[in-house]
């Protein structure tokens, strides 16, 4: 016997319909690319997304067509976020920080036809244009007065397209399994790979994310995604915030600490970004003596969260830290370090240590730590293995690949090394390729980095393995001192010493002005290793 309930395909258009109907006047505040702060709400974003969908239909967009979008976090980007899938298209988010070569590759590989871009990014799209023969045209997300001088030939003006429509047409409907969006992986080796989200996977993922143990958004929240919408599906915020009826603050292009602080002052209660952003903001707060009067929670993920950052937010500013783990292939969020009763009962300092874990998964995500033979490892908080994941928001196969990337039991190998504790909390110990292998043992680069940045004069640190004739590899630490500070190697080793076995301590510490980062703001160990090799670096003595 089948159930006799209604058929209600889980399509993302329903999210913006819901926000516009029941949370119509919740503000969405943007630092616009043109400069001033602009205010709108869900009702208006919904209407304009409908108009955009009509305009795209008029331009000949057909169901399943891929549409590129290179834009900062703004209200207009949210309109495109819904307008494109609402017109039956598949939105391919483009990271402007990728190299020209990578951008040309992914835009061609995904076969982007129409391409949206912010006005300041139009010159970049224009440069790429000759290498994009499949592109149909470019739509610049601004008004006529701000149309850039340099743009692809025949570029259209977004506001003119919107103004010509009435928003009266219905969304394109269809099966919830249809493609909705594409994000490419950061691809440190080989070509980036396309992850194709479905309407269903995005809706289910957002529903999982707004649960209290996860992002926990409600209509009383004001959400500011500092993480760009083009990075890993925008950490679901473009879907989960309107689903919960939350307000949003969109920080635009300027992600400097003073600009972020000003936008946080718009009443933001919860904000999300990678640790480097928070290191920068905390330094700014220290220098200026500014506080965070509205902020209640900060979500930190994308790379390991240093203890010093958690401590500063919680103890100095009274802002609760949610450490999260995820990846482009997993929609992206897979776990949150929220407090189950066992953790809530711990003394403050012990709980702080536990917050270095990436936490536990929501319903719809299954996590397992497995050994090389694919056997589950004990939940003992110490056995390290491969982190695997499965669920309706996890990739099965990359775009245009012929083989599944998930195994027969649907497990996707994340490439991360992790442990699992008795309460089901994972601790990410490393990327498997970044683990430092010394004398047959594993040293976690993340643990070394975390402890190094707890030194008062260290602003950022990267631990990498350098080849060693006897031990295979030995760890070294590359350190960026705080501005004006000159920490000694010995003082950094002394900070590490109580927390590591002797053989785990770095053989050398190098001081640099800057550590290279990837297009998504993570430390690029690949570039760092290359730089050291080019400089002919060798281990001391
Ligand atoms: P991306 O697909 O670019 O978001 O990268 C995903 C990768 O980022 C994961 O496989 C992890 O290696 C890393 N990552 C994400 N969150 C964390 C975290 N909380 N701790 C450590 N690594 C993380």
Where are the alpha helices (H) located in 111-195, listed in sequence order? 122-128, 158-163
Positions marked catalytic: 185, 329, 437, 442
Give CA 410 to chain center in angstroms. 23
Q: What is the Cα–Cα distance from 19 to 388, expressed in whole angstroms?
A: 34
Provide the pLDDT confidence category of residue 218 given band limits of 50, 70 and 90.
very high
* Pocket flag, ligand 1, residue 233 (CB < 6 Å): no
Q: Is the CB of 328 under 6 A from ligand 1?
A: yes
Per-residue pLDDT band at 139 (split at 50, 70, 90):
very high
| Contact in structure between 270 and 292 (CB atoms under 8 Å) | no
Q: Return the H-helix or E-strand segment holding 288.
A: helix 275-288
- pLDDT tops 70 at residue 188: no
Measured distance CA(209)–CA(199) in Å, rounded: 15
Question: How does pLDDT run across 363-422, given as a tens digit for each residue?
Answer: 999 999 999 899 999 999 999 999 999 999 999 999 999 999 999 999 999 999 999 999
Task: With a cut of 70, say whether residue 189 has pLDDT above it.
Answer: no
Domains in the chain and their CATH numbers? Answer: 13-199 (3.40.50.12780), 255-391+404-431 (3.40.50.12780), 436-534 (3.30.300.30)
What is the pLDDT, as a whole number, of residue 519?
A: 87
Mean pLDDT, all residues of the chain = 96
In this predicted structure, what is the pLDDT of residue 521?
A: 83
* pTM assigned to the model: 0.94
Ligand 1 atom index nearest CA of 232: 4
Pocket test for ligand 1, best of 361, 428, 431 (most atoms within 8 A of CB): 428
Q: pLDDT, tens digit, for every residue of 301-353?
A: 999 898 999 999 999 999 999 999 999 999 999 999 999 999 999 999 999 99
The Å distance, Cα 288 to ligand 1 centre, comes to: 31
Q: How confident is the model at residue 441 (pLDDT cuts 50, 70, 90)?
A: confident
Tell me: the pLDDT tens digits for 484-513?
A: 999 999 999 999 999 999 999 999 999 999
Alpha-carbon distance values, 428 to 28, 275, 301, 479, 498 (Å):
35, 15, 11, 22, 21
Ligand 1 pocket test, candidate residues 188, 192, 272, 327, most atoms within 8 A of CB: 327
How far is it between the farthest Cα atoms of the chain? 75
Mean per-residue pLDDT for 113-119?
98
332 ligand 1 Cβ < 6 A = yes
Ligand 1 pocket, residue 303 CB under 6 Å: yes
Residue nearest atom 7 of ligand 1, based on CA coordinates: 327
Percent of the chain scoring above 70 in pLDDT:
99
520 within ligand 1 shell (Cβ under 6 A): yes
Residue 431 CB less than 6 A away from ligand 1: yes
Q: Residue 325: CB within 6 Å of ligand 1? A: yes
Rounded to an integer, what is the distance from CA 394 to the centroid of its chain? 15
pLDDT in tens, 262-309: 999 999 999 999 998 999 999 999 999 999 999 999 999 999 898 999
Query: What are 509's two structure tokens?
Result: 């510490």
pLDDT given at position 440: 84
**What integer pLDDT is reported at residue 419 of this predicted model?**
97
Which one of 235, 303, 449 would you pick to mutate in the ligand 1 pocket, going by the greatest count of ligand atoms within 8 A of its CB?
303
Q: Which residues, in sequence order, are CB contacts of 47 under 8 Å at separation 6+?
A: 20, 167
Chain-centre distance of CA 502, in angstroms? 35
Instruction: Select from 300, 169, 121, 316 the least CA-distant residue to 226.
Output: 300
Instruction: Using pLDDT thresholds of 50, 70 and 90, give the confidence band for residue 187.
Output: low
């Amino acid at each position: 016997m089948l159930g006799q309930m209604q058929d209600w395909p889980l399509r993302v258009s329903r999210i913006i319909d819901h926000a516009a109907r029941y949370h119509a006047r919740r503000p969405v505040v943007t630092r616009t690319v043109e400069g001033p702060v602009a205010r709108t709400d869900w009702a208006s974003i919904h209407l304009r997304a409908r108009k955009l969908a009509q305009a795209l239909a008029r331009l000949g967009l057909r169901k399943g067509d891929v549409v590129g979008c290179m834009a900062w976090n703004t209200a207009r980007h949210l309109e495109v976020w819904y307008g494109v899938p609402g017109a039956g298209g598949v939105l391919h988010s483009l990271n402007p920080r990728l190299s020209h070569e990578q951008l040309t590759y992914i835009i061609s590989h995904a076969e982007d036809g129409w391409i949206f871009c912010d006005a300041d990014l139009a010159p970049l799209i224009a440069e790429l244009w000759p290498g994009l023969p499949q592109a149909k045209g470019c739509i610049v997300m601004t008004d006529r007065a701000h149309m850039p001088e340099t743009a692809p030939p025949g570029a259209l003006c977004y506001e003119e397209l919107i103004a010509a429509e009435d928003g009266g047409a219905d969304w394109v409907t269809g099966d919830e399994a249809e493609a909705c969006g594409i994000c490419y992986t950061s691809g440190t080796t080989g070509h980036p790979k396309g992850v194709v989200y479905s309407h269903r996977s995005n809706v289910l993922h957002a529903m999982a994310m707004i649960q209290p143990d996860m992002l926990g958004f409600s209509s009383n929240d004001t959400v500011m995604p500092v993480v760009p919408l083009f990075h890993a599906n925008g950490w679901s915020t473009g879907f989960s915030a309107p689903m919960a009826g939350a307000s949003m603050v969109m920080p635009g292009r300027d992600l400097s600490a003073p600009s972020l602080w000003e936008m946080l002052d718009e009443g933001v209660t919860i904000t999300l970004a990678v640790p480097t952003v928070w290191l920068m903001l905390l330094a700014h707060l220290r220098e200026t003596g500014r506080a965070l009067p509205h902020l209640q929670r900060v979500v930190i993920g994308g790379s390991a969260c240093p203890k010093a950052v958690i401590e500063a937010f919680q103890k100095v500013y009274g802002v609760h830290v949610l450490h999260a783990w995820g990846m482009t292939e997993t929609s992206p969020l897979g776990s949150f370090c929220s407090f189950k009763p066992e953790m809530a009962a711990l003394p403050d300092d012990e709980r702080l240590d536990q917050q270095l874990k990436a936490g536990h998964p929501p319903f719809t995500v299954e996590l397992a730590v497995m050994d090389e033979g694919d056997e589950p490892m004990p939940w003992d908080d110490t056995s390290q293995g491969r982190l695997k994941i499965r669920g309706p928001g996890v990739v099965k196969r990359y775009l245009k690949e012929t083989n599944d990337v998930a195994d027969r039991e649907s497990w996707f190998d994340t490439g991360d090394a992790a442990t699992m504790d008795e309460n089901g909390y994972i601790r990410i110990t490393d990327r498997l390729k970044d683990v430092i292998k010394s004398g047959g043992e594993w040293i976690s680069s993340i643990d070394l980095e975390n402890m190094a940045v707890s030194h008062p004069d260290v602003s950022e640190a990267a631990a990498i393995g350098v080849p060693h004739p006897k031990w295979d590899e030995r760890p070294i630490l590359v350190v960026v001192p705080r501005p004006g500070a000159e920490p000694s190697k010995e003082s950094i080793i002394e900070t590490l010493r109580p927390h590591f076995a002797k053989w785990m301590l770095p053989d050398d510490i190098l001081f640099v002005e800057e550590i290279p980062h990837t297009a998504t703001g993570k430390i690029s160990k690949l570039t760092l290793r290359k730089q050291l090799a080019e400089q002919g670096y060798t281990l001391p003595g």
